[in-house]
Amino acid sequence: MIIIGERINVRTQVLGDAMRNRDFGPIKDMALKQVKGGANYLDINIGPARKDGPALMEWMVTNIQKVTDCPLCLDTTNPDAMEAGLKVHKGQAIINSTSAEPERIAAFMPLAAKYNAQIIALTLAKGGLPRDGAERCALAAELMSAAMEHGVPLENIFLDPIVVPINGQQEQIPGIIEAIKMFQELNDPPMKSVVGLSNVSNGCPEEMRSLLNRTFVTMLITAGLTAAIIDPLDKEMVNAVKATDCLLNETLYCHSFLDT
C-alpha cells in the first residue's frame, strides 16, 4: 500500500508558525522523519492560504524537494496556490483534492490534466455525505466521467470514499469498506483508492486512536485499498501495513521488515 505522510500541516502550531515565518528547519525535519518512517508521498497541507497561497506553496515544494526525492501530495483549497506548486514540482504530484461538486471539478480537474498530476477525488456532493457504498460508487462514476471530459486519465485518479469518525457515525464504516471493494469494479484495470485514515478515530481517546487506525487500515487493505494518508511516525501503524501487505502476498516477506 502507498503511504502518504500526513504530518506537514498548517493546522499544527509548530509547522503552521514555520510556514508563516518561512522557517524551513521544522518542515525539513518533519519531511525527513516521515520519509524515514516509510512515507511514499508527503502531504503538504497549507490550508486555504488566501493571503499568500501561491508564494507559500511554491516555497514549500521547492525547498522540500531540495532535501528529499519523495514526491508530494499538494493539499490546498486555493486553485492558484495549487497551480503554483504544480509548476515547480519535480515528477508527478498528487492533487488533494477535488469532489463531485461542480466548482471543485472546474477548479482542479483542468490542473490535473495540464500538469499530468494524479488527483484525489472525494465521493462528496452538495447533498452531504453519501449514506452507503452504493451512493459512494455512484459519485465515483460521476467523478470518473468528469475526469475523462477534462482529459485526465483514469489511472491518475484516486477515489476517496470519505472516512468518518467511528465515534458518532459508526454505521457508516461498513459502507466505506464496501465502497473500496466496489471501486475496483468500475474499471479495468481497477480504480485506485485512498483514505484519510486518521479521520476514523477523531474524537476518540488518544490511547485508542492508534489501535482503531491500524485495525481499520488492515480491513481496508484487505478490501483492496491502494493508498492512505497516515502518520508514518506511528511505527505500529506502519508495521501493520507492512504485515498486511506481506500476508496478502503484495510484498516479499523477510524476518527484518519490522525493524525498518
Q: pLDDT digit string (tens) for 32-47?
A: 999 999 999 999 999 9
The pLDDT value given to residue 47: 97
Measured in degrees and rounded to the nearest 5, phi and psi for residue 193 equal -140, 155
The pLDDT value given to residue 234: 95
Write the DSSP symbol of residue 87. Answer: H
Angle of helix 79-88 relative to helix 53-67, nearest 10 degrees, comes to 30
Q: What is the pTM of this model?
A: 0.97
Q: Which residue is it, cell 500538469?
A: 115
Q: Name residue 160's beta-bridge partners.
A: 122
Confidence of residue 204 (pLDDT cuts 50, 70, 90): very high
Integer Cα distance of 60 and 203 in angstroms: 30
Q: How many structural domains are present in the chain?
A: 1
Q: Which residue is it, cell 493571503?
A: 51
Question: Is residue 227's pLDDT more than 60?
Answer: yes
Confidence of residue 260 (pLDDT cuts 50, 70, 90): low
What is the arithmetic mean of pLDDT over 68-74? Answer: 98
Q: Which domain holds residue 65?
A: 2-259
**Which residues are within 8 A (CB) of 230 and not within 5 positions of it... i.e. 6 or more apart?**
3, 4, 5, 6, 197, 198, 213, 217, 237, 238, 241
For residue 145, the tally of other CB atoms under 10 A from its CB is 10
Integer Cα distance of 27 and 22 in angstroms: 10
Peptide bond into 189 cis (omega under 30): yes
CATH number at residue 109: 3.20.20.20
Question: Is residue 127's pLDDT more than 90?
Answer: no
β-bridge pairing 118-122 and 94-99:
parallel
Confidence of residue 254 (pLDDT cuts 50, 70, 90): confident
What is the arithmetic mean of pLDDT over 172-194? Answer: 97
